[in-house]
Structure 1
Protein backbone atom coordinates (compact mmCIF):
# COMPACT_ATOMS: atom_id res chain seq x y z
CA UNK A 1 0.00 0.00 0.00
CA UNK A 2 1.39 3.41 -0.92
CA UNK A 3 2.58 5.44 2.03
CA UNK A 4 0.08 8.23 1.35
CA UNK A 5 -2.85 5.82 1.29
CA UNK A 6 -1.63 4.19 4.48
CA UNK A 7 -1.55 7.60 6.16
CA UNK A 8 -5.19 8.28 5.18
CA UNK A 9 -6.16 4.83 6.47
CA UNK A 10 -4.56 5.48 9.86
CA UNK A 11 -6.24 8.90 10.10
CA UNK A 12 -9.61 7.36 9.21
CA UNK A 13 -9.20 4.68 11.88
CA UNK A 14 -8.23 7.27 14.48
CA UNK A 15 -11.22 9.52 13.73
CA UNK A 16 -13.63 6.57 13.66
CA UNK A 17 -12.23 5.33 16.99
CA UNK A 18 -12.85 8.74 18.57
CA UNK A 19 -16.45 8.75 17.32
CA UNK A 20 -17.05 5.21 18.59
CA UNK A 21 -15.54 6.14 21.97
CA UNK A 22 -17.87 9.14 22.24
CA UNK A 23 -20.84 6.95 21.33
CA UNK A 24 -19.91 4.41 24.00
CA UNK A 25 -19.59 7.21 26.57
CA UNK A 26 -23.10 8.41 25.70
CA UNK A 27 -24.43 4.87 26.16
CA UNK A 28 -22.74 4.63 29.56
CA UNK A 29 -24.33 7.93 30.60
CA UNK A 30 -27.71 6.65 29.42
CA UNK A 31 -27.30 3.46 31.49
CA UNK A 32 -26.23 5.47 34.55
CA UNK A 33 -29.25 7.77 34.32
CA UNK A 34 -31.63 4.87 33.66
CA UNK A 35 -30.33 3.15 36.80
CA UNK A 36 -30.66 6.40 38.76
CA UNK A 37 -34.26 6.90 37.60
CA UNK A 38 -35.12 3.30 38.47
CA UNK A 39 -33.58 3.75 41.92
CA UNK A 40 -35.55 6.97 42.43
CA UNK A 41 -38.78 5.22 41.49
CA UNK A 42 -38.09 2.33 43.85
CA UNK A 43 -37.13 4.56 46.79
CA UNK A 44 -40.01 7.00 46.34
CA UNK A 45 -42.64 4.23 46.46
CA UNK A 46 -41.46 2.58 49.64
CA UNK A 47 -43.54 3.05 52.82
CA UNK A 48 -42.60 6.16 54.81
CA UNK A 49 -40.15 5.61 57.68
CA UNK A 50 -39.44 7.74 60.72
CA UNK A 51 -36.87 10.40 59.79
CA UNK A 52 -35.09 9.77 63.10
CA UNK A 53 -34.00 6.33 61.83
CA UNK A 54 -32.04 7.79 58.88
CA UNK A 55 -29.10 10.07 58.30
CA UNK A 56 -30.76 12.71 56.10
CA UNK A 57 -27.47 13.82 54.54
CA UNK A 58 -26.39 10.29 53.53
CA UNK A 59 -26.54 9.40 49.85
CA UNK A 60 -28.48 6.25 50.70
CA UNK A 61 -31.27 8.36 52.21
CA UNK A 62 -31.85 10.37 49.03
CA UNK A 63 -35.45 10.12 47.79
CA UNK A 64 -36.58 7.96 50.72
CA UNK A 65 -40.12 8.58 51.89
CA UNK A 66 -40.04 9.71 55.51
CA UNK A 67 -42.37 11.16 58.09
CA UNK A 68 -41.79 13.52 60.98
CA UNK A 69 -43.94 14.92 63.78
CA UNK A 70 -43.61 18.54 64.83
CA UNK A 71 -44.77 21.96 63.70
CA UNK A 72 -43.92 24.54 61.07
CA UNK A 73 -41.89 27.61 61.96
CA UNK A 74 -44.35 29.88 60.18
CA UNK A 75 -43.13 33.24 58.92
CA UNK A 76 -39.57 32.09 58.29
CA UNK A 77 -39.84 30.98 54.68
CA UNK A 78 -37.09 31.01 52.08
CA UNK A 79 -38.49 31.88 48.66
CA UNK A 80 -36.37 30.20 45.97
CA UNK A 81 -36.80 32.48 42.97
CA UNK A 82 -36.78 31.90 39.22
CA UNK A 83 -38.19 28.37 39.28
CA UNK A 84 -39.64 27.72 35.82
CA UNK A 85 -42.66 25.54 35.20
CA UNK A 86 -44.49 25.14 31.89
CA UNK A 87 -42.89 28.35 30.66
CA UNK A 88 -44.02 30.33 33.70
CA UNK A 89 -41.78 31.83 36.35
CA UNK A 90 -42.46 31.11 39.97
CA UNK A 91 -41.18 30.34 43.45
CA UNK A 92 -40.58 27.26 45.57
CA UNK A 93 -41.40 27.93 49.23
CA UNK A 94 -39.13 26.38 51.86
CA UNK A 95 -40.50 26.50 55.42
CA UNK A 96 -38.60 25.26 58.53
CA UNK A 97 -40.24 22.39 60.43
CA UNK A 98 -39.42 21.96 64.12
CA UNK A 99 -39.33 18.27 65.25
CA UNK A 100 -41.48 17.48 68.26
CA UNK A 101 -38.52 15.90 70.05
CA UNK A 102 -36.20 18.85 69.43
CA UNK A 103 -33.00 18.88 67.40
CA UNK A 104 -32.11 20.36 64.05
CA UNK A 105 -34.90 21.80 61.96
CA UNK A 106 -35.98 20.38 58.61
CA UNK A 107 -36.55 22.58 55.58
CA UNK A 108 -39.81 21.60 53.87
CA UNK A 109 -40.31 22.39 50.20
CA UNK A 110 -44.04 23.12 50.13
CA UNK A 111 -44.11 23.31 46.34
CA UNK A 112 -44.22 25.79 43.47
CA UNK A 113 -46.49 28.74 42.88
CA UNK A 114 -46.50 31.34 40.13
CA UNK A 115 -45.01 34.71 41.04
CA UNK A 116 -43.42 37.59 39.11
CA UNK A 117 -39.67 38.09 39.48
CA UNK A 118 -39.88 41.80 40.35
CA UNK A 119 -42.29 41.48 43.29
CA UNK A 120 -42.26 37.97 44.76
CA UNK A 121 -45.57 36.98 46.33
CA UNK A 122 -45.58 35.88 49.96
CA UNK A 123 -46.87 32.29 50.24
CA UNK A 124 -49.88 31.31 52.27
CA UNK A 125 -49.04 30.26 55.82
CA UNK A 126 -48.63 26.53 56.56
CA UNK A 127 -51.01 24.73 58.96
CA UNK A 128 -50.51 25.64 62.60
CA UNK A 129 -50.00 23.27 65.50
CA UNK A 130 -48.32 19.90 65.94
CA UNK A 131 -48.80 17.53 63.01
CA UNK A 132 -47.16 14.71 61.08
CA UNK A 133 -45.73 15.46 57.66
CA UNK A 134 -44.48 13.07 54.99
CA UNK A 135 -42.47 13.39 51.82
CA UNK A 136 -39.28 12.59 49.95
CA UNK A 137 -35.82 13.48 51.21
CA UNK A 138 -33.83 15.48 48.67
CA UNK A 139 -31.29 18.25 48.31
CA UNK A 140 -32.19 21.88 47.62
CA UNK A 141 -32.25 22.76 43.93
CA UNK A 142 -28.76 23.64 42.70
CA UNK A 143 -28.93 26.82 40.59
CA UNK A 144 -25.23 26.76 39.66
CA UNK A 145 -23.69 30.13 40.47
CA UNK A 146 -24.39 31.26 44.03
CA UNK A 147 -25.15 34.91 43.49
CA UNK A 148 -25.98 37.12 46.44
CA UNK A 149 -26.01 36.29 50.14
CA UNK A 150 -28.56 34.83 52.54
CA UNK A 151 -28.98 37.25 55.41
CA UNK A 152 -29.04 36.27 59.06
CA UNK A 153 -32.30 36.98 60.90
CA UNK A 154 -34.33 37.83 57.83
CA UNK A 155 -36.12 39.86 56.64
CA UNK A 156 -38.82 37.22 56.30
CA UNK A 157 -39.87 35.73 54.02
CA UNK A 158 -36.41 35.89 52.47
CA UNK A 159 -36.10 35.74 48.66
CA UNK A 160 -33.05 33.69 47.61
CA UNK A 161 -31.61 32.36 44.35
CA UNK A 162 -29.78 29.47 46.02
CA UNK A 163 -30.12 27.58 49.28
CA UNK A 164 -28.23 25.00 51.33
CA UNK A 165 -28.24 23.81 54.93
CA UNK A 166 -25.32 25.96 56.25
CA UNK A 167 -26.76 29.14 54.74
CA UNK A 168 -30.24 28.34 56.07
CA UNK A 169 -28.85 27.60 59.55
CA UNK A 170 -26.97 30.93 59.49
CA UNK A 171 -30.14 32.81 58.58
CA UNK A 172 -32.38 31.01 61.06
CA UNK A 173 -29.91 30.98 63.92
CA UNK A 174 -30.57 27.28 64.46
CA UNK A 175 -29.20 23.96 63.20
CA UNK A 176 -30.72 22.66 59.98
CA UNK A 177 -30.69 19.06 58.71
CA UNK A 178 -28.59 18.34 55.63
CA UNK A 179 -31.57 17.53 53.42
CA UNK A 180 -34.95 19.00 52.56
CA UNK A 181 -38.36 17.35 52.49
CA UNK A 182 -40.44 17.41 49.31
CA UNK A 183 -43.90 17.56 50.86
CA UNK A 184 -46.39 14.91 49.75
CA UNK A 185 -49.04 16.28 47.40
CA UNK A 186 -51.88 14.97 49.57
CA UNK A 187 -50.91 16.96 52.67
CA UNK A 188 -52.30 20.44 53.40
CA UNK A 189 -50.31 23.65 53.35
CA UNK A 190 -48.57 23.27 50.02
CA UNK A 191 -48.72 24.37 46.41
CA UNK A 192 -47.98 22.53 43.15
CA UNK A 193 -46.13 19.34 44.14
CA UNK A 194 -45.84 16.79 41.34
CA UNK A 195 -42.31 15.78 42.26
CA UNK A 196 -40.23 13.98 39.67
CA UNK A 197 -36.52 13.26 39.31
CA UNK A 198 -34.34 15.69 37.43
CA UNK A 199 -31.74 13.81 35.35
CA UNK A 200 -30.12 17.05 34.30
CA UNK A 201 -30.10 18.60 30.88
CA UNK A 202 -30.33 15.24 29.10
CA UNK A 203 -32.37 12.15 29.89
CA UNK A 204 -31.38 8.58 28.94
CA UNK A 205 -33.14 8.69 25.56
CA UNK A 206 -31.31 11.86 24.55
CA UNK A 207 -27.98 10.22 25.42
CA UNK A 208 -28.89 7.18 23.33
CA UNK A 209 -29.83 9.43 20.43
CA UNK A 210 -26.46 11.16 20.60
CA UNK A 211 -24.72 7.77 20.78
CA UNK A 212 -26.45 6.74 17.56
CA UNK A 213 -25.25 9.93 15.89
CA UNK A 214 -21.64 9.31 16.93
CA UNK A 215 -21.77 5.72 15.67
CA UNK A 216 -23.30 6.91 12.39
CA UNK A 217 -20.45 9.41 11.98
CA UNK A 218 -17.91 6.63 12.55
CA UNK A 219 -19.57 4.49 9.86
CA UNK A 220 -19.70 7.49 7.50
CA UNK A 221 -15.98 8.15 7.91
CA UNK A 222 -15.07 4.52 7.21
CA UNK A 223 -17.42 4.27 4.22
CA UNK A 224 -16.05 7.50 2.81
CA UNK A 225 -12.49 6.16 3.03
CA UNK A 226 -13.53 2.91 1.33
CA UNK A 227 -15.23 4.72 -1.57
CA UNK A 228 -12.34 7.13 -2.10
CA UNK A 229 -9.78 4.34 -1.81
CA UNK A 230 -11.55 2.25 -4.47
CA UNK A 231 -11.71 5.20 -6.81
CA UNK A 232 -8.02 5.81 -6.35
CA UNK A 233 -7.19 2.16 -7.07
CA UNK A 234 -9.25 2.25 -10.26
CA UNK A 235 -7.42 5.36 -11.40
CA UNK A 236 -4.08 3.73 -10.60
CA UNK A 237 -5.01 0.64 -12.65
CA UNK A 238 -5.75 2.58 -15.83
CA UNK A 239 -2.99 2.41 -18.54
CA UNK A 240 -0.90 5.50 -18.64
CA UNK A 241 -1.78 7.94 -21.37
CA UNK A 242 0.66 7.82 -24.23
CA UNK A 243 1.59 10.91 -26.08
CA UNK A 244 2.05 10.69 -29.85
CA UNK A 245 5.53 11.62 -31.13
CA UNK A 246 5.65 14.99 -32.70
CA UNK A 247 5.76 15.04 -36.53
Structure 2
Protein backbone atom coordinates (compact mmCIF):
# COMPACT_ATOMS: atom_id res chain seq x y z
CA UNK A 1 0.00 0.00 0.00
CA UNK A 2 1.38 3.33 -1.03
CA UNK A 3 0.69 6.68 0.62
CA UNK A 4 0.38 9.59 -1.76
CA UNK A 5 2.20 12.73 -0.69
CA UNK A 6 2.64 16.04 -2.46
CA UNK A 7 5.98 17.70 -2.99
CA UNK A 8 6.46 21.30 -4.07
CA UNK A 9 8.70 21.22 -7.16
CA UNK A 10 8.35 24.34 -9.34
CA UNK A 11 8.99 23.68 -13.01
CA UNK A 12 11.05 26.14 -15.05
CA UNK A 13 8.67 26.75 -17.96
CA UNK A 14 5.44 27.23 -15.91
CA UNK A 15 7.38 29.42 -13.47
CA UNK A 16 8.70 31.62 -16.25
CA UNK A 17 5.41 31.90 -18.13
CA UNK A 18 2.83 32.01 -15.31
CA UNK A 19 4.72 33.54 -12.38
CA UNK A 20 7.25 35.84 -14.01
CA UNK A 21 5.34 37.00 -17.12
CA UNK A 22 1.56 36.63 -16.83
CA UNK A 23 1.13 37.37 -13.12
CA UNK A 24 3.03 40.73 -13.17
CA UNK A 25 1.28 41.64 -16.42
CA UNK A 26 -2.22 41.00 -15.04
CA UNK A 27 -1.44 42.82 -11.78
CA UNK A 28 -0.07 45.86 -13.61
CA UNK A 29 -3.15 46.00 -15.83
CA UNK A 30 -5.39 45.75 -12.78
CA UNK A 31 -3.64 48.61 -10.97
CA UNK A 32 -3.69 50.64 -14.20
CA UNK A 33 -7.47 50.27 -14.35
CA UNK A 34 -7.75 51.31 -10.70
CA UNK A 35 -5.73 54.41 -11.53
CA UNK A 36 -8.03 55.14 -14.49
CA UNK A 37 -11.04 54.80 -12.19
CA UNK A 38 -9.49 57.30 -9.77
CA UNK A 39 -8.86 59.72 -12.64
CA UNK A 40 -12.50 59.46 -13.71
CA UNK A 41 -13.61 60.00 -10.11
CA UNK A 42 -11.44 63.12 -9.82
CA UNK A 43 -12.69 64.45 -13.16
CA UNK A 44 -16.30 63.89 -12.16
CA UNK A 45 -15.85 65.72 -8.85
CA UNK A 46 -14.12 68.63 -10.61
CA UNK A 47 -16.89 68.76 -13.21
CA UNK A 48 -19.65 68.89 -10.61
CA UNK A 49 -17.89 71.58 -8.58
CA UNK A 50 -17.04 73.87 -11.50
CA UNK A 51 -20.43 73.60 -13.17
CA UNK A 52 -21.99 75.12 -10.05
CA UNK A 53 -19.78 78.22 -10.23
CA UNK A 54 -21.05 81.46 -11.82
CA UNK A 55 -19.97 82.23 -15.41
CA UNK A 56 -16.41 83.46 -15.79
CA UNK A 57 -15.81 86.45 -18.06
CA UNK A 58 -12.96 85.80 -20.50
CA UNK A 59 -10.30 88.50 -20.65
CA UNK A 60 -6.68 88.91 -21.69
CA UNK A 61 -5.48 87.40 -18.43
CA UNK A 62 -3.44 84.22 -19.08
CA UNK A 63 -5.23 81.08 -18.00
CA UNK A 64 -4.57 77.38 -18.46
CA UNK A 65 -7.16 75.00 -19.82
CA UNK A 66 -6.93 72.74 -16.77
CA UNK A 67 -7.78 75.63 -14.44
CA UNK A 68 -11.12 76.37 -16.08
CA UNK A 69 -12.13 73.11 -17.74
CA UNK A 70 -15.89 72.53 -17.29
CA UNK A 71 -16.38 76.18 -16.26
CA UNK A 72 -19.08 78.23 -17.95
CA UNK A 73 -17.53 81.24 -19.70
CA UNK A 74 -19.02 84.48 -20.97
CA UNK A 75 -17.20 86.11 -23.87
CA UNK A 76 -17.75 89.12 -26.13
CA UNK A 77 -16.23 89.67 -29.55
CA UNK A 78 -16.72 89.03 -33.25
CA UNK A 79 -16.81 85.81 -35.22
CA UNK A 80 -14.12 85.36 -37.90
CA UNK A 81 -15.82 83.40 -40.73
CA UNK A 82 -12.54 82.92 -42.61
CA UNK A 83 -11.30 80.65 -39.83
CA UNK A 84 -14.39 78.45 -39.72
CA UNK A 85 -14.16 74.64 -39.88
CA UNK A 86 -16.60 71.74 -40.02
CA UNK A 87 -15.87 68.55 -38.09
CA UNK A 88 -17.21 65.61 -40.08
CA UNK A 89 -19.04 62.42 -39.07
CA UNK A 90 -20.95 63.98 -36.16
CA UNK A 91 -24.35 62.41 -35.51
CA UNK A 92 -27.42 63.80 -33.80
CA UNK A 93 -30.51 61.62 -33.30
CA UNK A 94 -29.01 59.16 -35.77
CA UNK A 95 -28.59 61.73 -38.54
CA UNK A 96 -25.18 62.52 -40.08
CA UNK A 97 -23.84 66.03 -39.93
CA UNK A 98 -21.08 68.35 -38.81
CA UNK A 99 -19.94 70.38 -35.83
CA UNK A 100 -19.35 74.02 -36.69
CA UNK A 101 -16.11 75.46 -35.26
CA UNK A 102 -15.83 79.24 -35.54
CA UNK A 103 -13.10 81.45 -34.03
CA UNK A 104 -14.27 84.44 -32.00
CA UNK A 105 -11.91 87.42 -31.80
CA UNK A 106 -12.14 88.88 -28.32
CA UNK A 107 -13.38 92.42 -28.03
CA UNK A 108 -10.42 94.82 -27.99
CA UNK A 109 -7.91 92.02 -28.50
CA UNK A 110 -6.12 90.01 -31.18
CA UNK A 111 -6.64 86.74 -29.32
CA UNK A 112 -9.22 84.25 -30.52
CA UNK A 113 -11.38 81.67 -28.82
CA UNK A 114 -12.68 78.67 -30.74
CA UNK A 115 -16.42 78.16 -30.38
CA UNK A 116 -18.17 74.89 -31.15
CA UNK A 117 -21.49 76.31 -32.28
CA UNK A 118 -23.17 72.93 -32.46
CA UNK A 119 -24.42 70.40 -34.97
CA UNK A 120 -25.79 70.95 -38.48
CA UNK A 121 -27.29 68.27 -40.70
CA UNK A 122 -25.65 67.18 -43.93
CA UNK A 123 -27.52 68.00 -47.13
CA UNK A 124 -27.21 65.18 -49.66
CA UNK A 125 -23.99 64.13 -47.93
CA UNK A 126 -22.60 67.65 -48.30
CA UNK A 127 -22.24 70.46 -45.74
CA UNK A 128 -24.98 73.10 -45.71
CA UNK A 129 -24.45 76.84 -45.97
CA UNK A 130 -23.46 78.21 -42.56
CA UNK A 131 -24.72 81.63 -41.50
CA UNK A 132 -22.12 83.44 -39.41
CA UNK A 133 -22.72 86.98 -38.12
CA UNK A 134 -19.82 89.40 -38.25
CA UNK A 135 -21.01 92.02 -35.77
CA UNK A 136 -20.29 92.21 -32.03
CA UNK A 137 -21.88 89.41 -30.00
CA UNK A 138 -21.81 88.02 -26.48
CA UNK A 139 -22.18 84.31 -25.87
CA UNK A 140 -21.57 81.73 -23.19
CA UNK A 141 -20.56 78.11 -23.06
CA UNK A 142 -18.68 75.42 -21.20
CA UNK A 143 -14.95 74.97 -21.71
CA UNK A 144 -13.72 71.83 -23.38
CA UNK A 145 -10.25 70.53 -24.24
CA UNK A 146 -10.44 68.69 -27.58
CA UNK A 147 -8.29 65.63 -28.07
CA UNK A 148 -7.59 63.44 -31.11
CA UNK A 149 -9.14 59.97 -31.40
CA UNK A 150 -7.27 56.90 -30.20
CA UNK A 151 -6.35 56.11 -33.81
CA UNK A 152 -5.34 59.41 -35.37
CA UNK A 153 -5.77 59.38 -39.14
CA UNK A 154 -3.60 61.71 -41.16
CA UNK A 155 -5.28 64.34 -43.32
CA UNK A 156 -4.25 67.43 -45.24
CA UNK A 157 -4.95 70.49 -43.10
CA UNK A 158 -4.73 72.96 -45.93
CA UNK A 159 -6.90 71.48 -48.68
CA UNK A 160 -10.29 71.47 -46.98
CA UNK A 161 -12.31 72.98 -44.15
CA UNK A 162 -13.77 69.51 -43.49
CA UNK A 163 -11.73 67.90 -40.73
CA UNK A 164 -12.28 64.47 -39.14
CA UNK A 165 -11.36 65.83 -35.70
CA UNK A 166 -10.11 69.01 -34.06
CA UNK A 167 -6.91 69.61 -32.15
CA UNK A 168 -5.68 73.02 -31.11
CA UNK A 169 -2.20 72.32 -32.47
CA UNK A 170 -3.56 71.55 -35.94
CA UNK A 171 -5.78 74.62 -35.86
CA UNK A 172 -2.90 76.93 -34.91
CA UNK A 173 -0.79 75.51 -37.73
CA UNK A 174 -3.65 75.92 -40.22
CA UNK A 175 -4.92 79.37 -39.24
CA UNK A 176 -1.93 81.13 -37.72
CA UNK A 177 -4.27 82.65 -35.11
CA UNK A 178 -3.41 83.22 -31.47
CA UNK A 179 -6.03 81.04 -29.76
CA UNK A 180 -6.83 80.12 -26.18
CA UNK A 181 -5.91 76.55 -25.12
CA UNK A 182 -9.53 75.38 -25.00
CA UNK A 183 -12.81 75.41 -26.91
CA UNK A 184 -16.21 76.69 -25.81
CA UNK A 185 -19.20 74.41 -26.27
CA UNK A 186 -21.79 77.10 -26.93
CA UNK A 187 -24.72 77.09 -24.53
CA UNK A 188 -28.17 76.23 -25.95
CA UNK A 189 -29.51 79.65 -24.92
CA UNK A 190 -26.71 81.61 -26.65
CA UNK A 191 -27.48 83.20 -30.04
CA UNK A 192 -26.15 82.19 -33.46
CA UNK A 193 -25.65 78.53 -32.60
CA UNK A 194 -27.03 75.28 -33.99
CA UNK A 195 -28.00 71.92 -32.49
CA UNK A 196 -26.38 71.81 -29.05
CA UNK A 197 -27.17 68.65 -27.08
CA UNK A 198 -23.85 68.38 -25.29
CA UNK A 199 -23.15 65.30 -23.20
CA UNK A 200 -23.28 66.26 -19.52
CA UNK A 201 -23.22 62.88 -17.80
CA UNK A 202 -20.78 62.23 -14.97
CA UNK A 203 -17.77 60.23 -16.21
CA UNK A 204 -18.26 56.65 -15.05
CA UNK A 205 -15.65 54.75 -13.08
CA UNK A 206 -17.57 51.47 -12.93
CA UNK A 207 -16.20 50.15 -16.21
CA UNK A 208 -12.61 50.57 -15.03
CA UNK A 209 -13.36 48.92 -11.68
CA UNK A 210 -14.89 45.99 -13.54
CA UNK A 211 -11.82 45.64 -15.74
CA UNK A 212 -9.56 45.83 -12.66
CA UNK A 213 -11.42 42.95 -11.01
CA UNK A 214 -11.12 40.98 -14.24
CA UNK A 215 -7.34 41.46 -14.48
CA UNK A 216 -6.81 40.63 -10.80
CA UNK A 217 -8.89 37.48 -11.27
CA UNK A 218 -6.68 36.46 -14.19
CA UNK A 219 -3.64 37.06 -11.98
CA UNK A 220 -5.10 34.89 -9.22
CA UNK A 221 -5.87 32.18 -11.76
CA UNK A 222 -2.28 32.29 -13.04
CA UNK A 223 -0.96 31.92 -9.50
CA UNK A 224 -3.31 29.03 -8.74
CA UNK A 225 -2.36 27.25 -11.96
CA UNK A 226 1.35 27.68 -11.20
CA UNK A 227 0.88 26.22 -7.71
CA UNK A 228 -1.05 23.28 -9.13
CA UNK A 229 1.64 22.54 -11.71
CA UNK A 230 4.36 22.84 -9.07
CA UNK A 231 2.90 20.08 -6.87
CA UNK A 232 4.01 16.53 -7.67
CA UNK A 233 2.68 13.31 -6.16
CA UNK A 234 5.61 11.31 -4.76
CA UNK A 235 3.70 8.02 -5.03
CA UNK A 236 3.44 8.48 -8.78
CA UNK A 237 7.20 8.90 -8.98
CA UNK A 238 7.85 5.74 -6.93
CA UNK A 239 5.50 3.69 -9.09
CA UNK A 240 7.21 4.90 -12.22
CA UNK A 241 10.59 3.74 -10.91
CA UNK A 242 9.24 0.32 -9.95
CA UNK A 243 7.86 -0.23 -13.45
CA UNK A 244 11.24 0.30 -15.09
The CA deviation string for residues 21-68 of structure 1, in whole angstroms up to 9 with x for no partner, is 221121112211221232233223321111116535543233322111
What's the TM-score, normalizing by structure 2? 0.75
Q: Is the 8 A contact 2:11 2:229 kept in 1?
A: no
Q: Is the 8 A contact 1:90 1:117 kept in 2?
A: no
Name the SS for the 2:70 alignment partner.
coil
Q: Is the 8 A contact 1:110 1:189 kept in 2?
A: yes
Q: How many correspondences in the alignment?
A: 234
The Cα RMSD (Å) is: 3.6
Match of 2:10 in 1: 5
User: How far apart, CA to CA, are the structure 1 residues paired with 2:83 and 2:213?
Assistant: 50
Match of 2:138 in 1: 132
Q: Is the 8 A contact 2:9 2:230 kept in 1?
A: no
Q: Please point out which of 108, 115, 127 is paired with 1:120.
A: 127
The CA deviation string for residues 162-210 of structure 1, in whole angstroms up to 9 with x for no partner, is 44456546665654333221111222322232333799xx953222222
Q: Please point out which of 25, 45, 56 is paired with 1:18.
A: 25
What's the TM-score, normalizing by structure 1? 0.74
Q: Please point out which of 39, 43, 46 is paired with 2:53.
A: 46
Q: Which runs of 5 or more structure 2 residues have no equivalent in the other structure?
A: 1-5
Match of 1:95 in 2: 102
Identify the structure with bigger relative contact order (alpha carbons < 8 Å, sequence gap 6+).
Answer: 2
Which segment is superposed worse, 165-174 or 127-136?
A: 165-174
User: How far apart, CA to CA, are the structure 2 residues paired with 1:87 and 1:60?
Assistant: 34
Q: Displacement of 1:139 after TM fit?
A: 3.0
